Chain A
Amino acid sequence: MSTLVLKNGRVFDPSRKLDKVADVVIDIKAGTIANIARNANAPKDAEVIDCKGLVVCPGFLDIHVHFREPGFTSKESIATGAAAAVHGGFTTVVTMPNTDPPLDNSSSIAYQYLQADKAGKARVYPMGCVTKERKGEELAELGMLARAGAVGFTDDGAAVGSSFLMRSALEYASALGKVVVQHCEDHDLSNGAVIHEGKVSAALGINGYPSAAEEVIVARDIRLAKLAGARFHVQHISAKGSVALVREAKRRGVRVTAEVAPHHLLLTDDACRDFDAHYKMNPPLREASDIEACLQGLRDGTIDCLASDHAPHTSEEKSQEFIHAPNGVIGLETNIGVLLAKLVATKKLPLKRFVEAWTGAAAKVLDLPFAGLKPGAVADITILDLGLLWTVDPERFKSKARNCPFNGWKLKGAPVYTIVGGKVFEAIGRTMQAAAQPKKAKKQARAAKKR
């Protein structure tokens, strides 16, 4: 069997203006798409996945994940992270370099590629550090990192604080054709705070992290990008002021892009009222008006793409005192489900924009390989079931971590298959269907007995 047919799915690729019911024929050996057509010809022994009622999309990319290897593999490894990715519907992820040691040298980059290869699940592209040891003092060997395969540069978790260094990084990376990706935070102003500054922080007596601490760096770096004539990407945008700054910069022709995480579109700082560290991350959950601005930005293209900031931590770490628990939540296995249910099904975000923001637009931010759904293209495909009903249960995750802020959410819509280079993986929608089956069978048995 060297052919796979995705039969009768709704083939949906905004990058190719494609939305029609058709078969997608995949050459498994070559790992490419052979044909897209209605009732396409296929060998008799071809493997078939019945996609009637399902949406067949280009493979989803999550350009912001933390896989913690090397250094913190009790939280996540590249193998468990890559498994979580395909289980969550993602064919490709971009890993952040805040490992231990950090990815500030070419051998660390090579090591991540090696581990990802061994895992054999999602495609994993590492990002390199901007500065040596992420200390913000001197530039890392950006050229060597790029040569080793770093797809961009960031000190994520911390901002490059020095304006001089940031300008240099932008100029230097620009010649390498790479983007500098910034965790936008004025650390002096946020002052170690772990929660949005507003009513909730005031009531809880916890130091607040004002939106201005993000906006100040977004504003500065937009000007530095213009000065350097370089591209610049805003990670995990969270504040309405930042969205306005990016919108205005794009209008002026500055080459700035931005991403937003699902939790910043669905949760506010009110979630922190019970001191539950599962709602603690950096940047913090902000206010309803920030959600509205981020959503508007995502709809109108000010915010280019979605990205999870998947940040695994152990249960022990997350069950500490709120101020001590580490920042971050996982997202790979809920990204698609929560947004389909809460934004797409409610018509707050068109399906087209949703898919584009996880596929073509995400790839474009970092110039990652992306060909979309067309004959000859690599068979990286994500298949969605928009009607599947399920409840988030972190115990079903492939990620090593359980720090999920959406635990118990009842959702409609999930990824069901993830295909990476022709290789098929069952996604969380299938897992939850299978988990629901025994119950159904039991119910039927009970009903039969009664009769």
Chain B
Amino acid sequence: MPWNRKHLLDLESLSKAEIVEILDTAASFKEVSGRSVKKVPALRGKVVVNLFFEDSTRTSNSFSLAAKRLSADVMSFSSKGSSVSKGETLIDTAKNIEAMGVDAFVIRHYAPGAPHLLARHTDCSVVNAGDGSHEHPTQGLLDIFTIREKLGKVEGKTVAILGDIRHSRVARSNAHGLRKLGARVILAGPPTLVPPAIGKALGVEVSHDIDAVVEQADALNCLRIQFERKAGRFFPGVREYAAIYGLDDERMKRAKPEAIIMHPGPINRGIELTPELADGKRSVILQQVSNGLAVRMAVLYLCLGARGN
């Protein structure tokens, strides 16, 4: 039993054994969602705070529900309408909430490294729910969980991550996690959004030829073009992107018959992925969301040390 961490800040610093332990723990929690009473008492009396400095639908709700299914109390904070708009710093905000007696912060922040900063200044557990373009470890874990579930294993499989890699925390977490579990990872998209340095930095392959990548992949993880991070400056336009780099039926004819299509959401339908494919039989996009709940239960359970109780 290798897990003795208080925080989950990124997948880069986790070992293979730690990742596998989260996945295995998540598998056992997945069963809870199928029960009529969807709740276990593992974190009864604990308080989990969602600290969201950036918009989120899936992740914040998924973490809230995960904490509730473990019987924890959940508090939600969003920077809008809070003292942050009065100029309060991240550390002051967190320390004030901590003073109310809480056990874990789930933090989403636009600044890379904000969870790491928070972890240096708090006694609570810190779970990174996405920090800028750096990492989104629970999304990486739920993607890997889904690949393991659908393809039987991760080792030896080829996973292509397509699109706006430059701005993607999902790509970084996936690359670290998948590589540690022995998958072959290819990051693919236009050179401006998939700079070669990123392949070197993450120790994975880079390609700018989508057709060639589609042919080799067992799983195709399509990423959203992050227009809110001004991704539009890096390519000529949406129409061109869809034509040259988007995933559509025509391109998918080259794919392996059993290859699956993934997307972390929200989808720009018709840009990186056609609606037909997003809703088609290769798509595992909604299973990703379901699995996210189990993975986040596992992460909260392990980080809050509930196993030892």
Contact = CB atoms under 8 A, between A and B. Distances in A.
Given A202-B195, A202-B197, A205-B132, A322 B111 contact: yes
Contacts of A319: 91, 117, 121
A205 B202 CA distance: 11
A274 B114 CA distance: 10
Contacts of A274: 113, 116
Interface residues of B, number: 27
B200 A320 contact: no
Interface in A175-205: 197-205
Contact of A320 (B90, B132, B133): B90
A202 B176 CA distance: 13
Contact of B202 (A201, A203, A320, A324): A203
B113 A321 contact: yes
A205 B197 contact: no
A179 to B, nearest CB: 36
B198 A202 contact: yes
| Most B-side CB within 10 Å, residue of A200, A203, A274, A324 | A203
A197 B198 CA distance: 10
B172 interface: yes
| Most B-side CB within 10 Å, residue of A202, A274, A319 | A202
A79 B169 CA distance: 46
B296 interface: no
B135 interface: yes
A320 to B, nearest CB: 6
A202 B202 CA distance: 8
A206 interface: yes
A206 to B, nearest CB: 5
B201 A203 contact: yes
B201 A200 contact: yes
A316 B89 CA distance: 9
B108 interface: no
A265 to B, nearest CB: 24
Nearest to B92: A316
A366 to B, nearest CB: 38
Interface string B117-157: 10001000000000111110000000000000000000000
Interface in B13-34: none
A373 B117 CA distance: 49
Contacts of B132: 205-206, 323
A205 B133 contact: yes
Interface string B229-246: 000000000000000000
B109 A321 contact: yes
A275 interface: yes
B98 interface: no
Contact of B113 (A198, A202, A204, A208): A204
Contacts, number: 64
A239 to B, nearest CB: 16
B114 A321 contact: yes
A213 to B, nearest CB: 15
A324 B131 CA distance: 14
A198 to B, nearest CB: 6
B116 A205 contact: no
A323 B117 CA distance: 12
Nearest to B200: A199
Contact of A323 (B112, B169, B198): B112
B230 to A, nearest CB: 10
Interface string A189-229: 00000000111111111101000000000000000000000
Given A204-B112, A206-B134, A322 B117 contact: yes
A319 to B, nearest CB: 6
A250 to B, nearest CB: 32
Contacts of B103: none
A322 B132 CA distance: 11
Contacts of A206: 112, 132-134
Nearest to B233: A191
B12 interface: yes
Contacts of A275: 112-113, 116-117
Contact of A205 (B89, B112, B117, B121): B112
Given A198-B197, A322-B112, A322-B113, 17 more contacts: A197-B197, A199-B200, A200-B201, A202-B200, A202-B201, A203-B201, A204-B112, A205-B132, A205-B168, A206-B112, A206-B133, A275-B116, A319-B91, A320-B117, A321-B114, A322-B117, A323-B111
Q: Which 9 A-B pairs have the closest CB atoms?
A: A275-B113, A205-B133, A321-B111, A202-B201, A205-B134, A203-B201, A199-B201, A202-B198, A202-B197
7 contacts: A202-B197, A202-B201, A202-B202, A204-B113, A205-B131, A319-B117, A321-B114
